[in-house]
Chain A
Amino acid sequence: MKKNEVPQDKSNLESANFKELCYAVDENGEYTTVNSTGWDPKTIALDNAIEEINARVADAKNRVQNNQTSPIEYYMELHKMDINILASYVGIWKWRVKRHFKPSVFKKLSNKILQKYADIFEVSVEQLKKLEHGN
């Protein structure tokens, strides 16, 4: 990549006033660094990944409302987690976390366990139960 070929496309970095560093060669063939505002191929990949996450969140929300899963799964998706990550944050075995996805099991959970989840998701136990969150 030549210095003048370093892409300066519009991207989501702009909102944070952030430029990333790329390596490129100058007119004399010497390596140098150039700041880049973004590059379309990766912006599209990132946008797609975020869309995918949003779709997972919406799907989980739907299933909570249809009583097919518990709000824990919804909050897990909202925080871009999977079961492995969530289990290690709450310090509960994976198979138990999975069980807590069942609405019937979720209803019977003790306040202590609910509080653990609520702390991780940064909501109150009430909000956790009702599928409401701060933002």
Chain B
Amino acid sequence: MEIKFTHHQSAHCENGVVSNLMKHNGFNISEPMVFGIGSGLLFCYIPLLMVNHAPAITYRAMPGFIFKRFAKRVGIKIKREKFKDPKKAKTRLDENLNKNNPVGLQVGVYNLAYFPDEYRFHFNAHNLVVYGKQDDTYLISDPVMEGVTTLTDKQLEKVRFAKGAFAPKGHIYYPTDFPKELELESAIKKGIKQTCREMLAPMPIVGVKGIRTIAKLIRKWPKKKGVKVANHYLGQIVRMQEEIGTGGGGFRYIFAAFLQESSKILNNDKLAELSKEMTQIGDLWRDFAVDASRIYKNRAAKTDGYNDVADQLDIIADKEEIFFKKLKKAI
């Protein structure tokens, strides 16, 4: 059986699943809208946690948070379930498909058969939509892919029950209740306010201050850890920033797109101006990635290079600090 479901490619999986499920239910909500209302933008360094043998840095909110906040702010209700038993997880999925209800699933990337091998890491916060089943093959709409795809029930069970950090535990979710009209205006304001609060938080690992902390660490790495490890760490930062799903520039461009769309909804010209400013900041992040890649490309780099890219991050931090203070006042 196949549910009539329109697949739209998106940059990021979580926004994409939400946006596609909303569109399926008759609400034309773009990916940047979901991202902005859900306060997806962030910078956070998580000390002590190592990912792929390098420090963990994220440019976005915790997996699941974007949808949760989005739902609360626009007034929709979501049903979520996790399972211990893979059989029960499968039964619940099939029940929903039989009821013509496409559902979102959280899955691990490592065993996702249709992903390019090089991209299959143990990352457990990927999201996709299942919109049908033919024999024992599930029809999959993975928002980061250009078109729809399929997974056998064995393959699907494996990715739904991937282990490690953020293990999905068969996590299934779908909207159950919608208001007559979405409360977009207040939702946008709430989303922006929280992003400003987090980016300006007085904590050394979050937001603007987190960026400065990373800049400091980058200066220390070559001496403390050696060039090889320093390069690996630097590469990891660039990967987190530009990985599939960020839309480029560590989500800064998606956020700028959100501000542009919001300026029309709220009739607020200041947001359109700030959108342009965010685009420029996104370009600075891209420049940082280019210069960082020059360092880890030729392995015998000078320590100057590290100081240079750290300077770039400090400049970005200054600009973002001014930016989010202005944004806070603009709404």
Whether A42 pairs with B253 at a CB distance below 8 angstroms is no
| B293 in the interface (beta carbon within 8 A) | yes
> Cβ of B10 < 8 Å from any Cβ of A?
yes
A89 touches B32 (CB 8 A): no
A23 proximity list for chain B (CB < 8 A): 11, 32, 247-248, 253-254, 256-257
B65 at the interface (CB under 8 A from A): no
Chain B nearest CB: distance from A86 CB in Å?
9
Contacts of A6 in B (CB 8 A): 248
Task: Report how far A46 CA is from B236 CA in the complex, Å.
Answer: 8
CB of A85 closer than 8 Å to a CB of B: yes
Range class of the B interface residue count:
35 or more
CB <8 Å contact, B290 and A88: no
| Contact A21/B10 with A1-B253, A84-B164 known, Cβ cut-off 8 Å | yes
- Interface readout for B92-124 with A: 1 if CB under 8 Å, 0 if not? 000000000000000000100011101111100
Bitwise, B36-65 to A at CB < 8 A (1) or not (0) is 000000000000001011000000000000
Residues of the A chain whose Cβ atoms lie less than 8 Å from the Cβ of B312: none
B239: Cβ under 8 A from any A Cβ: yes
- Measured between beta carbons, the chain A residues less than 8 angstroms from B256 are 23, 31
Q: Answer whether A49 and B242 are a contact pair too, CB < 8 Å, given A1-B248, A1-B286, A84-B164.
A: no
| Segment 235-277 of B: residues with Cβ below 8 Å from A | 235-236, 238-239, 242-245, 247-249, 253-254, 256-257, 260-261, 275-276
Q: Given A16-B115, A23-B256, 5 other A-B contacts at CB below 8 A? A: A1-B253, A1-B282, A23-B11, A82-B53, A85-B163
Interface residues of A (CB under 8 A from B): 1, 6, 12-13, 15-16, 18-25, 29-31, 33, 35, 39-42, 44-46, 48-50, 52, 79-82, 84-85, 88-89
**Which B residues contact A (CB, under 8 angstroms)?**
9-11, 32, 50, 52-53, 110, 114-116, 118-122, 144-146, 163-165, 167, 231-232, 235-236, 238-239, 242-245, 247-249, 253-254, 256-257, 260-261, 275-276, 279, 282-283, 286, 289-290, 292-293, 296-297
